[in-house]
Amino acid sequence: MRITNPATNELIKEIAEDTSQNVEVKYQRAKSALNSWSQVAFEKRIVLIQRFGDLLDQNKDNLAQTLTLEVGKPLQESYNEINGARGRIKFYIENAQKWLAPQELNNDGNTADILAFDPLGVVCNISAWNYPFLVGVNVFIPSLIAGNTVLYKPSEFATLTGMNIEKLLHEAGIPKDAFIAVIGAAKTGEALLNLPCDGYFFTGSYKTGKYIAEKVTTKLVPIGLELGGKDPLYVTDEIADLNKVAGAVAEGCFYNNGQSCCGVERVYVHEKVYDSFMEQFVAETLKLKVGDPLFKDNNQGAITRESHIAFLDSQVQDAVKKGAKLLAGGSRIGKNNFYGPTVLANVTHDMSIMKEETFGPLIGVMKVKDDNEAIKLMNDTEYGLTASVYCQDTDRAKKILSQVDTGTSYINCCDRVSPYLPWSGRKHSGVGSTLSYLGILAFAKPRGWHIRK
């Protein structure tokens, strides 16, 4: 497998992919380690995870550099991601015991009814490349804390980071067979689907997620799917500081080159503030500096997958052909994977840019006459990950968002994740939850104890 740098398209390294036979051997190792790992005291498991967090800190410079080299995100965003992962680890360390500890729910003096949790077993985690630390940590940390062993397949576009994660977990003291990285692309992932794992947790596209769900559903084990989105944002006419909102929206659209699962993918603006918003928003977009992601002044790096550039071009061409107006960007810059941050106005829902997940630095902005029109358009999607409303009147924003079918609702903010809240997609954005107490219990199975003395 060739690992290349998307900012230069040069080879970084060649790595052997795991064959299906290797994957089977890794599964057997993870299965054999299950009994001993699940019996390690909870407190000891927490200490090892804490040590892993400390190692992330101690190795931050190298980890951030590697992440930027292989996925092309600006170096500062790689640091931000590692810091974000630290925050999530802290959340699990502080909260897991509270939710996993046995609870006596009833005692009539004769029988104690106790709810307890057992590990699922061998957890299979197939992961994405856009935030490999964050989406990985959401699954493998609570899995390990709950006593599962883990087969972790990083994306083929974030393999070096996946291997760094494995190395540091082992260095922290997690047994070598309790956490095993499986290296490769779709074919290797497929080999994991053929094994009798005890839970499948996937982050990636709707297309692959649906395929995986169909393939593993007959195993009757828990399945978690965190998939794509076409997340809408609505700017109402009740805004105190339009400049500030335009800056925040531009960040929500273009952070990580628009390659964020909860990045803003389409914007609706109330007609009363549309012209002023657009002026500010385009100015904010034109301020973005595209270039070498290792150079600290650049805040837009390279598109991770070169093959995706043709799709971005096709969305721009489709929109322009159907009457959209290009206000910024619109094409690749140079011969490597850089793409100009793109703003399209006069867009409609007949255009791919407003319906299909873009996963890149393109945004369509549409004028709406009132909240009802905005609600109708926000719901006109197969996805349901997040939606955002900017409005000084919180009650009005809540009323709008409660009519939009998404797992996450943002008022006067966007593109953020809190470990205290469930991360949970609806419709084609997935099933199940990570983060919050739901994302701890997702990696355990309940056992009801009925105890009489």
| Residues known to be catalytic | 226, 261
Q: Residue 185, interface with ligand NAD (CB under 6 A)?
A: yes
Residue (117 or 129) nearer to ligand NAD, CB: 129
Alpha-carbon gap, residue 312 to 318, rounded angstroms:
10
Alpha-carbon gap, residue 344 to 251, rounded angstroms:
16
Considering the complex, what minimum distance in angstroms separates the CB of residue 203 from ligand NAD?
A: 5
> From the list 91, 92, 129, 200, which residue makes contact with ligand NAD (rule: CB under 6 A)?
129
For 271, half-sphere exposure in the C-beta direction (CA atoms, 13 angstrom radius) is 7
Question: Which tokens in the block code for residue 97?
Answer: 């015991």
Q: Residue 264, interface with ligand NAD (CB under 6 A)?
A: no
Residue with smallest beta-carbon separation from ligand NAD:
189
Considering the complex, what minimum distance in angstroms separates the CB of residue 429 from ligand NAD?
A: 6
Residue (214 or 275) nearer to ligand NAD, CB: 214
Phi, psi of 337, rounded to the nearest 5 degrees: -95, 40
> From the list 4, 205, 243, 346, which residue makes contact with ligand NAD (rule: CB under 6 A)?
205
> From the list 66, 149, 155, 164, which residue makes contact with ligand NAD (rule: CB under 6 A)?
155
Residues 6+ apart with CB under 8 A from 89: 49, 50, 52, 53, 56, 137, 141
With b for 16 or more beta-carbon neighbours within 10 A and e for fewer, the 152-161 pattern comes to bbbbbbbbbb
Q: Residue 208, interface with ligand NAD (CB under 6 A)?
A: yes
> From the list 179, 359, 390, 443, which residue makes contact with ligand NAD (rule: CB under 6 A)?
359
Q: Residue 311, interface with ligand NAD (CB under 6 A)?
A: no
Nearest to 49 by CA among 171, 185, 199, 188: 171
The amino acid present at 410, given as its one-letter code, is Y
Helix (H) or strand (E) holding 364: strand 362-368
Largest CA distance in the chain: 77
Looking at residues 383 to 412 of the shown chain, list those that interact with ligand NAD (rule: CB under 6 A): 385
Q: Residue 190, interface with ligand NAD (CB under 6 A)?
A: yes
Q: Which of the stretches 22-30, 49-57, 225-233, 320-328 binds ligand NAD when contact is defined by CB under 6 A?
A: 225-233
- List residues binding ligand NAD (CB under 6 A): 126-131, 135, 153, 155-156, 185-186, 189-190, 193, 203-205, 208, 211-212, 226-229, 261, 357, 359, 385, 423, 425, 429-430
